[in-house]
């Protein structure tokens, strides 16, 4: 089985950017990893590559389980995540890693009951696309993130996910989320007071890596990095 065989949505560009932020060359401290919304494990497998011996990787997802949730969320799950099961996620992950993550099969709002405050160095938010849920996930990420942590938000600009966009930009404008970088699919941010150190390290890596296009954009009083793939 190859990693590319795992179904899911995780671009080559974001795989490289994840690798940078998760590596020892980035600015994050030691700390735990968190993924909200795992689908069948495509991104979780990469996160597991960077899990250190004294760290914990926690994954939370409904995995197709019925839960007491609103009708809109039930429609989204039925339409987008048909065939998702915890067993299949575990099978895919175990193909590449001997040590399994901590798996929580529950609503994403309960992640704060399973991960200690200020303990996570990297969080991937890729669960519900509904505004109320993404807003809660962003609040949870702020609570769980330790100093220096990076949070990756999926689907910040997709036409079918306006609720995700609203929640993320609300966090950026009103709730202290500092944007570090944007790719076509994901927004990378931090709740640190200053994202400049993250940006400098990212730019150094981009110059050394040399296989991604990038530029500066001025936004909300800060400089951010826009990243996109080279033409194939």
Question: What domains, with CATH codes, occur in the chain?
Answer: 16-229 (3.40.50.150)
> Mean of the pLDDT values across residues 8-23?
96
> Mean of the pLDDT values across residues 213-218?
98
Which candidate, 175, 105, 183, places its Cα nearest to that of 145? 175
Contact predicate 42/7, CB 8 Å: yes
Per-residue pLDDT at 71: 57
Per-residue pLDDT at 67: 58
**Over pLDDT 70: what percentage of the chain?**
91
| Rounded CA separation 91/83 (Å) | 14
Q: Is the pLDDT of residue 75 over 50?
A: yes
């Amino acid at each position: 089985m190859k990693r590319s065989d795992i179904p899911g949505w995780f671009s080559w560009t974001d795989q490289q950017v994840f690798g940078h932020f998760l590596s020892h060359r980035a600015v994050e401290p030691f700390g735990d990893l968190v993924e909200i919304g795992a689908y069948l494990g495509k991104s979780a497998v990469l996160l597991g590559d960077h899990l250190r011996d004294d760290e914990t990787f926690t994954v939370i997802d409904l995995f197709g389980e019925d839960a007491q949730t609103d009708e809109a969320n039930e429609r989204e799950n039925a339409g987008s995540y048909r065939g998702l099961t915890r067993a299949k996620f575990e099978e895919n992950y175990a193909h590449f890693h001997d040590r399994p993550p901590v798996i929580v099969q529950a609503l994403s709002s309960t992640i704060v009951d399973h991960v200690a405050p200020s303990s996570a160095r990297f969080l991937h938010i890729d669960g519900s696309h509904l505004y109320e849920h993404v807003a809660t996930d962003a609040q949870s990420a702020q609570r769980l993130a330790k100093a220096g942590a990076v949070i990756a938000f999926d689907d910040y600009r997709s036409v079918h996910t306006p609720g995700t966009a609203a929640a993320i930009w609300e966090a950026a404008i009103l709730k202290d989320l500092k944007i570090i970088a944007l790719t076509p699919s994901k927004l990378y941010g931090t709740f640190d007071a200053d994202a400049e150190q993250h940006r400098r390290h990212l730019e150094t890596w981009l110059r050394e890596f040399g296989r991604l296009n990038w530029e500066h954009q001025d936004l909300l009083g800060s400089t951010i990095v826009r990243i996109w793939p080279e033409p194939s």
